[in-house]
Amino acid sequence: MLTPGQKAPEFTLFNSDKKEVSLTDFKGKHVIILFFPMAFTSTCTAELCEMRDNINTYSDLNAEIVGISVDSPFTLAKFKEDQKLPFDLLSDFNKEVSPAYGSFYETFVLNLKGVSKRSAFVVDQDGVIQYAEVLESAGDIPDFQAIQETLTSLN
C-alpha cells in the first residue's frame, strides 16, 4: 500500500477524449487522483459530482482532479458528458495503474474481475504522495474534508 511521503507511481492513460494524460503533466500543481469502481453507478456518480460541485475549492488550492477507472475511454466520455464533469476521467482498461496504487479488487460484485477500488490520493507538485485513502467498501466515499485539509497545508 502506498503511504504519504512515497513517490507516486508514474502513469500515462487515455482520457475520455482519447488523449494521453500522464502524472508528469501535472508537475507544478497538486493533483487529486480518485480511483472509482465503475461509471454510472450511484456512489461513483455521487463522489465525482461532489468534486464537480466543489471544483472552485480545489482550484483555489492549486489542485487538479483526475478520476481513474477500468472503464473504457468511450464509457468514460459518456459518463463525463452526462454528469458535466470538468476534469479528466482516465481509462485504466489494461489494469496497470490501479494495482500500482493498491486500488484494485481482484474480484468485485457479480464476480467481475479486476475493478478499481474507491480511493483518493493527493500528490504534491513534486510527485510525492501527501494523502492516501484506499476504501475496502465500494459504498464508502473518500474523506473530502481530509483531502481539503491536506491541500491547505501544502499551500
Domain ranges within the chain, ordered by starting residue: 12-154
The pLDDT of residue 109 is 80
Q: pLDDT-derived band of residue 112, with 50, 70 and 90 as boundaries?
A: confident
Active site residues: 44
CA distances from 132 to 6, 59, 86, 124 (A): 10, 20, 23, 12
The pLDDT of residue 155 is 87
> Is the separation of the CB atoms in 73 and 91 below 8 Å?
yes
- For 36-64, the pLDDT digits (tens) are 999 999 999 999 999 999 999 999 999 99
Is the model's pLDDT at 119 over the cut of 90? Answer: yes
Phi, psi of 38 (to 5 degrees): -155, 135
Identify the architecture of domain 12-154 in CATH: 3-Layer(aba) Sandwich (3.40)
Q: Which cell numbers in the block locate residue 51?
A: 468534486
Is the model's pLDDT at 87 over the cut of 90? Answer: yes
For the chain, what is the radius of gyration of the CA atoms? Answer: 14
Q: In what order do the strands lie in the sheet with 20-22?
A: 20-22, 12-15, 88-91, 63-69, 30-35, 119-123, 129-134
> Which region among 22-36, 58-72, 76-90, 106-120 has the lowest average model confidence (pLDDT)?
106-120
pTM recorded for the entire structure: 0.96
CA distance 23 to 131: 16
